[in-house]
Homo-oligomer: A and B are copies of this chain.
Amino acid sequence: MNIFVVGIGLIGGSFVKDVKAKIPDTIVYGIDANAAHLEEALSLGLIDMKASYEDLSLADFVMVSIPVDVMLQELPKILDRVPETCVVCDAGSTKELICEVLNDHPKRRNFLACHPIAGTEFSGPSAAIHGLYDGKTNIICEVEKTAFTLQEKALELFQLLGMRIRYMNPKAHDKHIAYVSHLSHISSFMLGKTVIEKERNERDIFDMAGSGFESTVRLAKSSPAMWTPIFKQNKENVIETLEEYIQNLTEFKELLEKDDYEGIYNEMNNTNKIKAILSGLPATKKPKANTLNQK
């Protein structure tokens, strides 16, 4: 099988690392605007050879893992060049605009809109790791617009990597993901900013911060180049989550100002049920069969 990865960083690199481990005769072709990344991917053994769009006629499967703004320009060009038997998947954290842009593309049936809920705060080819997708959810949008044999081809690969599949429409995806992913990133970035502004002496943070602080600001290490276009494409949903989050923080502050400690206790106690929700995540999350759960 010939797999092409367009954008060979954490997401694309981890993907092919596991595919090669599971299907050893896979040949991985890398395409990347960043020549240094492409070279690095080659020397790390993530890809077997460098390639360009001209080579896409050889592709059986294309994984596109590039910033979501670049995705809008590049996906149509990639689709233009792949053969009828090839399935092109993206890994973007937004789905509505990407699906909209490709809606009338003559090769729309060769495209499968995906969002594998997997990642770390690191980026680039050297961040690629084995097992990143194992037990994680892959959200697929507008599955009915993809040719059935190509759906099957892609699902087989995702399931081989241990992924659970969930179907959703692009609008619902973008709304939900604003809450469970995009808001977490902003909360983390702004928490990091608040502390850095105050603690000009970095030694104080270093000395006093524990694992709790580290956990809440971990996402503030994420790539601005990747996240700026995500916030842009999901602007309305993100603003809505931010308004609700700011409102909840303001109410908590007001309880404190009013010395309403029973209220503060209750706020925390009610949120403690997140324990039960998180206990299903992600270590205990098992790959599921392809259950259709369209919403």
Contact = CB atoms under 8 A, between A and B. Distances in A.
Interface in A224-247: 224-225, 227-229, 231-232, 235, 238-239, 241-246
Nearest to A274: B192
Nearest to A225: B265
Contacts of A94: none
A268 B210 contact: no
Contacts of A216: 184, 187-188, 215-216, 218-219
Interface of A: 117-121, 136-137, 139, 164, 166, 176-177, 179-181, 183-199, 202, 204-222, 224-225, 227-229, 231-232, 235, 238-239, 241-246, 248-250, 252-253, 256-257, 259, 261, 264-275, 277-278, 280-282, 285
A190 B256 CA distance: 14
Contacts of A210: 117-119, 136, 180-181, 282
Nearest to A253: B242
B275 A257 contact: no
A211 B245 contact: no
Contacts of A232: 259, 261, 264
Given A193-B248, A206-B281, A249-B249, 15 more contacts: A117-B208, A117-B209, A176-B204, A179-B199, A181-B209, A181-B212, A189-B252, A190-B249, A193-B270, A194-B248, A198-B244, A202-B277, A209-B281, A215-B219, A246-B249
A228 B282 contact: no
B176 A184 contact: no
Contacts of A249: 186-187, 190, 242, 245-246, 249
B179 A194 contact: yes
Contacts of A186: 249, 252
A139 B59 CA distance: 59
Nearest to A251: B190
Q: Which of A199, A239, A257, A274 is the most central at the interface, judged by chain B CB atoms within 10 Å of its CB?
A: A274
Given A210-B136, A249-B190, A195 B220 contact: no
30 contacts: A136-B210, A137-B207, A137-B208, A139-B207, A164-B207, A180-B199, A180-B213, A181-B213, A183-B194, A185-B212, A187-B216, A188-B212, A190-B245, A198-B244, A206-B280, A206-B281, A214-B281, A215-B215, A216-B216, A216-B218, A216-B219, A221-B278, A224-B264, A224-B266, A229-B261, A238-B256, A242-B252, A242-B256, A246-B249, A249-B249
A250 B261 contact: no
Among A229, A244, A277, residue most surrounded by chain B Cβ atoms (within 10 Å): A277
